[in-house]
Amino acid sequence: MAQLAKLDDIVALCKRRGFIFQSSEIYGGLASCYDYGPLGVELKRNVREAWWKAVVKMRDDVVGLDCSILMHPLVWKASGHADKFADLVTVCKKCNTRSRVDHLADHHGHAEEHTEHVDIDKAAATPHDLSRKVCPACGAVGQFGAPMAFRLMFETQMGANVEDTMTLFLRPETAQGIFVNFRNVLDTTRVKIPFGIAQIGKSFRNEVTTKAFIFRTREFEQAELEFFCAPGTDDEWYEHWKAERFRWYTDLGIRKENLRFREHDPDELAHYAKACVDVEYRFPFGQGDWQELEGIANRTDYDLRQHQRGMRTVNDWMAAGRDLTAIGLKEEAEDYLSGPLSYFDEQTRQRFIPYVIEPSAGVDRSTLAFLVDAYDEEEVRGEVRNVLRFHPALAPVKVAIFPLVKKDGMPETARALYDDLKRRYASFYDEKGAIGRRYRRQDEAGTPYCVTVDGQTKEDGTVTMRDRDSMEQIRVPLDQVRTWLSEKLDV
């Protein structure tokens, strides 16, 4: 154990057992898009549920939201995405492959890495020495064209009539839906600062570099929290959410040695951010690569201020023929504190624009981390056993029920138990094949417990309960199976 699993083994298992498939596979596949199969959909749903439980349900100070993916174009002007959400790219003159400048490495494997997104207008003016950089596709050294900005947002058209057709963007993050609903939530609930709004949903980015399975895809799911607090209390809340989010991963079984924080250097921070830290996981790419799993940022009052300015710009945008590029945001009026996105604290009698702490996680990326961390191979009696040691909360199937053989009333008893258990737990019934093989299939699916109805069941009313991790088998009275499982699974 503790050996870093190989990505290839995980990809193979995911395909073999129906966790994850390439999108549109029968047509040759669609690059960097993936489909979750019967086991994968349950796993990902459990990851989502575990996040929602920890961030929303178990707290008194966070509420949920589910916003539409298509939003008003001005949202992206105000957030900065329309002008800045681009990667700096270069094209290899030898093989024509486009690469992210910050991902290019020299012969020693040194890459710049962790560069922020670039300003679309100013990108070309930034000097970059690519003379020693190696093309990841063909290996040519220093054969790159001038760097340029590559917009990451997908565009689409909305409207049936020519006069109201608009160019919209598929959202590249879920966070903006939260900011634009800040006032709605404030007006319709009892929340008071400090409080958070959480959302889980799909985001889209036309990523330049993909690969690495579901680590970086063009369509993905995010779980984001915007936690609004009074200026001056932000450092404390930043630390609070750092600790909470780290604990979430370890509580769900990720080994501490595979998880770390990487605090951003001041020169790496976006201009509006006061602090930012990545929760990194040691993914099995290359030699075991520390890669971002989640970002936690102190975004100050930047987002709400920007939307307050954006709201004042609507008429200019209409006058400019709804052309985003032709308008700038209205300068902040002196009286911005009276705007609808400000907050009045009744206790302190002060009005302010709230600061925001944002933990932003990827559902697919954490699903991959949970898969990698749970994956294990061990030798049992001369055979390799593949097992996914998922935390019970994440396991796609919690319990499998088998009759030892298809006779002597065993299937009937097993089915009755299955019908009872499935109302409470994701359960699976299987009566085909040798019992050892049935156990192995469940090990590969990560099922924590298997229950077998056998010859002894008729005699003394007990069944065999088999533990996935230790492979130990004990006998449990049939009528106590449910209670026994609830002690183990309701964690």
Residue numbers at the binding site for ligand ATP (CB under 6 A):
173, 205, 207, 216-217, 220, 222, 292-295, 360-362, 364-365
**Residue whose C-beta lies closest to ligand ATP:** 362
Between 77 and 100, name the residue whose CB sits nearer to ligand ATP.
100
The Cα angle at residue 399 between residues 398 and 402, in degrees rounded to 5 = 160
Closest CA to 156 of 166, 168, 164: 168
Between 173 and 454, name the residue whose CB sits nearer to ligand ATP.
173
Shortest Å distance, C-beta 341 to ligand ATP: 22
What's the rounded Cα separation, in Å, for the pair 300 and 228? 9
Between 293 and 399, name the residue whose CB sits nearer to ligand ATP.
293
Shortest Å distance, C-beta 417 to ligand ATP: 40
Which helix (H) or strand (E) segment is 281 a member of? strand 275-283
- Helices and strands (H, E) in the chain, number of each type: 14, 23
Say if residues 300 and 237 touch (Cβ distance below 8 Å): no
Shortest Å distance, C-beta 209 to ligand ATP: 9
> 10 Å Cβ neighbour count for 14?
23
490 token code pair = 């309701």
What is the DSSP secondary-structure string of 7-30?
A: HHHHHHHHHHTTSEEETTGGGT--
14 token code pair = 């995911």
Residue 42 makes CB contacts below 8 A (sequence gap 6+) with 396, 397, 426
135 token code pair = 């093309």
Between 272 and 336, name the residue whose CB sits nearer to ligand ATP.
272
Shortest Å distance, C-beta 219 to ligand ATP: 8
136 token code pair = 């990841």
Shortest Å distance, C-beta 293 to ligand ATP: 6
11 token code pair = 């990809």
Residue 47 makes CB contacts below 8 A (sequence gap 6+) with 363, 366, 367, 370, 394
Shortest Å distance, C-beta 41 to ligand ATP: 17
Shortest Å distance, C-beta 444 to ligand ATP: 25
Between 81 and 133, name the residue whose CB sits nearer to ligand ATP.
81
Please list the alpha-helical segments (H only) found in 134-253. 175-179, 182-188, 234-251
**3-class SS string, 360-394:** EEEHHHHHHHHHHHHEEEEEECCEEEEEECCCCCC
Between 365 and 438, name the residue whose CB sits nearer to ligand ATP.
365
What's the rounded Cα separation, in Å, for the pair 447 and 469? 10
What's the rounded Cα separation, in Å, for the pair 387 and 378? 8
Between 281 and 375, name the residue whose CB sits nearer to ligand ATP.
281
Shortest Å distance, C-beta 364 to ligand ATP: 5
Say if residues 24 and 33 touch (Cβ distance below 8 Å): yes
420 token code pair = 């009872």
Shortest Å distance, C-beta 439 to ligand ATP: 34
Between 205 and 391, name the residue whose CB sits nearer to ligand ATP.
205
159 token code pair = 């409207």
Backbone dihedral angles phi then psi of residue 79, each to the nearest 5 degrees: -75, -20
Closest CA to 272 of 248, 307, 314: 307
Shortest Å distance, C-beta 273 to ligand ATP: 11
Between 10 and 293, name the residue whose CB sits nearer to ligand ATP.
293
Shortest Å distance, C-beta 369 to ligand ATP: 9
Between 303 and 364, name the residue whose CB sits nearer to ligand ATP.
364
Between 216 and 299, name the residue whose CB sits nearer to ligand ATP.
216
